């Protein structure tokens, strides 16, 4: 006999993700609850919060979900194309927000500044690529440009003659 599982709508209002966000703000919600708001509904087997938790565990958190392909996510039980696209769009907006300089332009004073600027864009790339950072005469970033991928990155680099990157 199937076990009864209450839907999120049957939960106390103080435990429902949308209502928690409204009352306490988005910072009070877990990643699973925030994703649940995007996905809106679960499936017959699991509620939307359980679906969100399963995806986070299965893909190793938000960065894993960001790296996952649309095809891979769509294959997951409870995830169709609409839910997958909503999730991927939200993750991309979050990434762009981190990269958006806003009104202030970043001043480059060392190679570490460039590394910090590009780290979020490039940390999960599977191919080597080249980026150009354009500066004005006051050493403020004007823009960062992506160039064609150069080669597939090997899984590991070790041994004699391997460059040591910092």
CB atoms within 10 A of CB 129: 15
Pair (29, 94) in one structural domain: yes
Chain-wide mean pLDDT for the chain? 83
Pair (88, 106) in one structural domain: no
Pair (55, 129) in one structural domain: no
The residue segments making up the domain with residue 111 are: 101-166
Q: How many structural domains are present in the chain?
A: 2
Asked if residues 70 and 84 have their Cβ atoms less than 8 Å apart, the reply is yes
Pair (157, 77) in one structural domain: no
pTM score, two decimals?
0.64
Pair (49, 121) in one structural domain: no
* Of the residues 56, 81, 99, the one at which a domain ends: 99
Q: List the one residue out of 86, 84, 95, 40 whose CA is nearest residue 59.
A: 84
Query: Which range scores top for mean pLDDT: 1-15, 61-75, 103-117?
Result: 61-75
Residue 139 lies in a domain: yes
Residue 2 lies in a domain: no
pLDDT at residue 118 is higher than 80: yes
- pLDDT digit string (tens) for 47-95? 999 999 999 999 999 999 999 999 999 999 999 999 999 999 999 998 8
* Of the residues 68, 99, 130, the one at which a domain ends: 99
Pair (17, 40) in one structural domain: yes
Residue 91 lies in a domain: yes
Q: pLDDT tier at 148 (50, 70, 90 boundaries)? A: low
Residue 45 lies in a domain: yes
The residue ranking higher by pLDDT, 75 or 114, is 75
Q: Where are the alpha helices (DSSP H) in the chain?
A: 17-24, 31-39, 48-59, 62-67, 70-74, 81-99, 111-122
Q: Residue 102: its pLDDT value, please?
A: 67
pLDDT at residue 134 is higher than 70: yes
* Of the residues 44, 77, 99, the one at which a domain ends: 99
Pair (82, 105) in one structural domain: no
Q: Residue 121: its pLDDT value, please?
A: 73
Pair (119, 61) in one structural domain: no
């Amino acid at each position: 006999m199937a076990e009864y599982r209450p839907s999120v709508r049957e939960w106390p209002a103080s435990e429902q993700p949308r209502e928690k966000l409204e009352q306490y703000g988005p910072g009070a919600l877990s990643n699973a609850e925030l994703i649940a708001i995007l996905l809106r509904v679960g499936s017959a087997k699991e509620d939307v919060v359980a679906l969100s938790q399963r995806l986070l565990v299965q893909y190793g958190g938000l960065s894993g979900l960001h790296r996952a392909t649309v095809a891979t996510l769509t294959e997951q039980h409870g995830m169709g194309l609409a839910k997958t696209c909503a999730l991927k769009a939200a993750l991309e907006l979050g990434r762009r927000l981190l990269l958006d300089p806003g009104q202030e332009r970043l001043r480059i004073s060392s190679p570490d500044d460039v590394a910090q600027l590009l780290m979020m864009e490039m940390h999960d790339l599977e191919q080597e690529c080249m980026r150009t950072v354009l500066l004005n005469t006051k050493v403020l970033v004007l823009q960062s440009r992506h160039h064609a991928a150069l080669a597939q990155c090997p899984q590991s680099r070790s041994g004699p003659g391997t460059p040591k990157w910092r």
